[in-house]
Structure 1
């Protein structure tokens, strides 16, 4: 006979036992004295947005464990706060708990203290508990009475500024809440950069500004706050500051900055490179909004004292009118840090040096429009009418400005960190000698008007006389652009599709001066990479658009033909998987192409990097393969991993079309004696015979597929000295194709799909071109649930184990390396 206990007793026992479980008694968002959490356990906020526990940074080497807070719903690990940033645990034995003194502590496997909230707690340890709030704030609380907060992570910010968080300074308490960067993207320890509010006092009124420091040295500033915006930011009306962002002055020496947003999937981040980014999360990934600094002119004091920076001009720095470079040699060499000095001394300065007060006309003020005002302003209570007189009456005053939200601002001493804006900024009035101001007296007008009349009549007579004479030939000008258009029209003649796609006269031509300014004179710091065509630089156009500028190197074997190919092929193509060509520049010897900027750089930067490759999960890799195929449908080209660029959401876009082929109508294949491409990606018929077709691109596509799947270069040697194609072929024959996948991304759930992709890759790299599928068939194979794909035949370049492309090239006295180097001119056999 089975005895069933009373149901009430059973429920009571279960409830009593479950009270030892944190998740049932206190929920997943809390830690109590009796419920610590181990390395394998975490807290989850009630809303499910944030998680707290142990983590290791993505792509970090070794097993270092940190305690922090990160977004739970974001696939790519995004940490917003770290506790033991400088004291990691080197194993998984760590524990987070409430200590005997009521503090939240982190200890290692030997019970040694690693980190603590370190506050004085006047209650028993079992009266305190920790909760992870829905806004990402971690709170240590006293459970008595009104639940007093003893400590919170929002009062100890690290590199992220979240909604409802506050940054600020207090002269009363000495508190200064700032952001601090990580040392690197894989090292959460304390970095070199900090960001926060700084206030400049004179004598009691304050101008708070947002600053970024590098080891306590300012590198960027926002300009003062006027009650709505920081007036030193360009185009502030387009930013987010009017949407929940605010700065509060309690009139007792405390300024605090905060912003409210409907979504907590939104934050500012101070990155290890010293820049503040605003990010928000959507289903497509992290979207970067504003970034500070955003141009080279944002660098603090870039042009030195009395220098004005303008990112739309070249050179970017110039002296205020009435000032000259302090050191002309340095200035001409683009070293502007020493700034400028007055050309003519002020009347005020001369009066100090003579007993009778001097003579001559008084000083005046030069108006500079739409300016970022200098640092360290003094405030006057004068209104807008009286502000100029207050500065004029004080010989120490070097400039003034007036803003409705701030009032009258005055400067004494040198003016540092000025910038000229296009659509924002305020008017700044700089004191200069009277002789530097433009004057238009009545006498000058009376003299100038008759002179101009005489000149006009004389000029008219000269023009009439010139009509009697035969015109002389105009001086020869640079006809490079005209010749380029003519040559491109020849290339597209007889090619209806290309002619329809390209209206050559509509292609934007950029001025070289504009591109030089946008790239900071092609500075090495803006260099993105180097190809066969030449170096590529990041630039920012005057309107703020980020661009990539490819500049033809004179040492390059490529030149006008490759540039024309690139322009002809993609100047009017609009496809999500092709990098957009924005325009070109042809001036004198200069040949430049301007593209949209791709922030994630090239695929190979992730694929073959042991740290970054972890970012590419299988689904991302599959999407990249499909995107490459769809882009390849539009053109024929030199395909390789370094020519696949990634956007913010890791979507692929094909770039570098200088080697693309523009086929004539009804032409499917061609022969050339000029072989250009990259060994390791070139099909055998093209590499050795100069014979190319769409199937040549399919071969390159297959190599890319196998590299994406495996995370290995084709030149990489596996067991038995097999290259990637041979190794994939061996695994296929052994029935182990899925084991080609990188161990980081392999998942049994995707094993069937991985095997199919390996099979497609092997079909693309078959030795004979006729055996390979075309691109549209490859897309069908990828996107269709099909199980009857043809069996692949042996790939190229592996049947003759002793033969290599390099050896073939040696016979022609050509020295090349395999897989990584683009060739520019090799005579085919």
Structure 2
């Protein structure tokens, strides 16, 4: 073999090796990816996308696809955005039935692909591959795609990712948060694309402009039932409802993403190089005035916007911010209006303030006085919108049951009249600056996800519940003793003192509680110290120290009480040997003896000899009977 042939062979082997390594790079080799191995990820052949476990909080991970070229990696798809897993033992696996399974450390399935189950032979040659488009595809043995991430988008549409009637784009909860938010981009039943605000309690469409009488006025066609939309690589977006747009850098070859942001606006981003790093630039957005986005400042909130200070949220006069970490919770009133006393209400005029929706009624060509009376006639009327209509040639009245989607704009020619109590709130038109200064502008704080093992959480809840039951039993016994005690206040104090003496072994208390222990001189660890006992008289179990020539003997209080109970005396009751002498005869000996015996059983060394809480109650109740 000559040198040229050898050189050709080496080049061929190198090419084949590179091809094999590239295939292994973007295709899953084996059956699973582990969260504990950062190297367990797939990278597209062009190096622009990665898929694996992405950190989303404290010990919280999601199985995600992200772009690697931007200065800050950009997550474009997440499997388990609302149910993150922990950083130990979690993994993504290709199961025997041909599905992808994401499991947490406890082995619980938190996400899986919604595909038909395959036979063992059909699932034997499955391949999971990350494409150059950012699409994660699961192929069967015939190289047919049986699942792809493009069919289940999160908050982003990538070029070549088709949006259909069966798919939707849902915003994140906030900046840096990956859980599902309150905004949705989708095809509605009318075959047109819409933006929807959908909180746990409220929902409303806000794009295209809902104030238009007909959606066709926005250039939308509702007769094409194919319901499909697509963004291409050049920055052109088209939809079957005839909606389309172009990026400001249309035609440029770069990475792009159409994102429904956490503030409810739909924006197209293009990746551009600036100062040596790649960052995102907005090249199109659906809504120029962000205050037209519903739910942005919450109930009873007002949104204002200008190009200098941007968007700001305020509370109405007489209202306060409900949650200082989240403006979507809105504001709550600091006053109450009684339905039975309508004359106690008055109205404050808020110029150029609009609240969209929640109209109790729509009344045409009404005087201001009549509109005000209409609102007063409704118990749930929070105020009314009053504005001139060019089409109707008069003023229209809109009584409001709720104050939602509020915005303040000099371009809005109507006013809101807020219903408030007469006492404490003035009845004049509020100046613009006064309105601005009376409201809070605290910026929402962002939350951070933390993984919680639901099994451990359930066990902790169960343990807490058991502890609560035990505490409740103790409280019941305590009240039982207080209820059955008939003696004077000094006797009640004796009971409390005796209970405390079983818990605290201080020298002074023991001296008061034991009349026969005259030689107590101090306290040692775990017992009582005596004076004047010779070494040969000490119990074999006694401990002793000799600090100043005096011999000390220690016995635990429980042992001493138990000895008095067992030995007893003929001259006096054993209870008199241990009771506080200051009580004299102001106590019931039988009750006190019963109480001590029950206490001794409860501190028995053998747990099987200790009574249950039910038995304790029965023993105490037996004396009352």
TM-score normalized by the length of structure 2: 0.41
TM-score normalized by the length of structure 1: 0.32
Relative contact order higher in (CA < 8 Å, ≥ 6 apart) = 2
